[in-house]
């Protein structure tokens, strides 16, 4: 059974960089066939795709966030990470990591989500 777990600070100051890591267990990122994704949800709102990465390092970002987002992968640790720079209060959200199948890009496994608040 694949499991994903987000970790990182729950509070980030404005203008700083939000950094989160997703640790994958029960399956190897290196096995291929999946995009490893970050998705966020503003409080009480819908879902927003941030981007995803393939095990090879190929990345795809939402153009609305592209200038501020970096997603990276560490296959030796079976982890992938999100960095979002120059954050504002508008980046306060629950951040999810998820696995997306390459062909249908359906997100079949999700982390439990972590709330990140941007505040001084």
Lay out the site mask for another protein across 81-110 (x = CB under 8 A, - = otherwise): ---------------x-x-xx--xxxxx-x
How many angstroms separate the CA atoms of 42 and 28, rounded? 30
Lay out the site mask for another protein across 7-46 (x = CB under 8 A, - = otherwise): ---------------------------------------x
DSSP assignment of 58-82 equals -EEE-TTTTTTEEEEEETTTTEEEE
- By CB under 8 A, name the one of 60, 70, 75, 78 that touches another protein: 60
Considering the complex, state which of residue 15 and residue 25 has its C-beta at the smaller distance from another protein: 25
How many angstroms separate the CA atoms of 58 and 35, rounded? 9
Contacts of 67 by beta carbon, 8 Å cutoff, 6+ apart: none
How many angstroms separate the CA atoms of 111 and 117, rounded? 18
Rounded to the nearest whole angstrom, what is the least distance from the CB of residue 106 to another protein in the complex?
A: 4
How many angstroms separate the CA atoms of 39 and 95, rounded? 6
Rounded to the nearest whole angstrom, what is the least distance from the CB of residue 24 to another protein in the complex?
A: 15
The binding site for another protein (CB under 8 A) comprises 46-49, 60, 62-64, 96, 98, 100-101, 104-108, 110-113
């Amino acid at each position: 059974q694949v499991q994903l777990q987000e970790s990182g600070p729950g509070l980030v100051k404005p203008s700083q960089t939000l950094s989160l890591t997703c640790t994958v267990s029960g399956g190897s990122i290196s096995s291929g066939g999946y995009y490893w994704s970050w998705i966020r949800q503003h409080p009480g709102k819908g879902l927003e795709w941030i981007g995803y990465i393939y095990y090879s390092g190929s990345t795809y970002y939402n153009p609305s966030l592209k200038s501020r987002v970096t997603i990276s992968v560490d296959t030796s640790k079976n982890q992938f990470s999100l960095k979002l720079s120059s954050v504002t209060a508008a980046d306060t959200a629950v951040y999810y990591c998820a696995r997306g199948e390459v062909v249908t890009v359906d997100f079949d496994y999700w982390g439990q989500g972590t709330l990140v608040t941007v505040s001084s």
